[in-house]
Amino acid sequence: MSSKEKKSVTILTESQLSSRAFKDEAYEFYKELRKSQPLYPLSLGSLGKGWLISRYDDAIHLLKNEKLKKNYENIFTAKEKRPALLKNEESLTKHMLNSDPPDHNRLRTLVQKAFTHRMILQLEDKIQHIADSLLDKVQPNKFMNLVDDYAFPLPIIVISEMLGIPLEDRQKFRVWSQAIIDFSDAPERLQENDHLLGEFVEYLESLVRKKRREPAGDLISALIQAESEGTQLSTEELYSMIMLLIVAGHETTVNLITNMTYALMCHGDQFEKLRQQPDLMNSAIEEALRFHSPVELTTIRWTAEPFILHGQEIKRKDVIIISLASANRDEKIFPNADIFDIERKNNRHIAFGHGNHFCLGAQLARLEAKIAMSTLLRRCPNIQLKGEKKQMKWKGNFLMRALEELPLSF
């Protein structure tokens, strides 16, 4: 969107928010919204009317506002319920990210013991081994595409082992994940995505059958145990939870590692500072989470009760979308918000969300990023971007801020 086009736009569509062109200029657009239109109208196709939130304080308030619901069944009556856009939708949407208390608490409790501080720390040696093994493969070439060779395989191997799923299937998860996070209403995309999600459901059915026959000490076996007890997890919830853990268990970390590396490549002084002072790694990760937030926009929230925000009535059934990326660049909260500063103090970013739906895997993502980045800088100290910054392309994706690729030489 050019500056001229921005001024003439009165309603943003889903396809605009998902476009590569929007991703390229999003930060400037958000800056204008924070100044003059912190509540911006959206047209979300079959989902109806929506609003884009761009300011930090509004984001904090709305992320824990009980008037907003994640489960549309808590908003719409059976007659009002929108028809499923995808045949396989019901099998993959009954997870905690789409639920409200008390269901959300029940579902989260079933998996959160696998993400405790103690359990995550036990993965440290395993993650280090994975990072070293991946770099062993590319180091002789003096070149790699960070996304394909390092940032994607590291977290997908970790979450695959936690769940107890075959590593040889990890490339399939990449394709299926993209179909799940693609919000497009375009008929051809819907048809393609529905086909891919059908494949995913078939895969999950086969995997669950195998785990029932041969349970092990993995997270999927534990979830199947909960499902067999009847009152804790339905079959649809079981499939949905496995899907969520696979997708959320790697997508955010892929983007965190990639976006952090890209930010360092674009800010040579900060890269050199981190190389000289590796004890700044934790602070650098927090700044990377703020500066190029891996999740750009939240999943949808439905308005259960009308309320007023910035003089505008938000009506029942309206959709609220919160830009975490914009909130994390809010000048009122973050001095010099557009500056990448790995020594930033009091970094109160909300890259992992806020409130009930704060990311369950935040600690795991941080540990994976710390090991991945520390190992990369230690083993490849002369790493540099191969090509021009302007050649790097952001993916056209509604939810995520993700690079198509990041070619590096060392």
* Structural domain spans, the chain: 3-409
From the CB of residue 128, how many other CB atoms can be counted at a distance below 10 Å? 14
Nearest C-alpha neighbor of 17 from the set 320, 287, 296, 256:
296
* Chain mean position to CA 93: 16
Quick check: 114 and 242 in contact, CB under 8 A?
no
- The per-residue b/e assignment along 68-97, b for 16 or more CB within 10 angstroms, e otherwise, is bbbbbeebeeeeeeeeeebebeebbbbbbb
- Which single residue is written with the structure tokens 């459901």? 201
pLDDT at 369: 98
pLDDT at 182: 72
pLDDT at 173: 85
Low-confidence stretches of the chain (pLDDT beneath 70): 1-10, 81-90, 183-187, 228-231
Cis amide leading into 102 (omega within 30): yes
Collect all residues with Cβ–Cβ distance below 8 Å to 336 and sequence separation of at least 6: none
Fold (topology level) of 3-409: Cytochrome p450 (1.10.630)
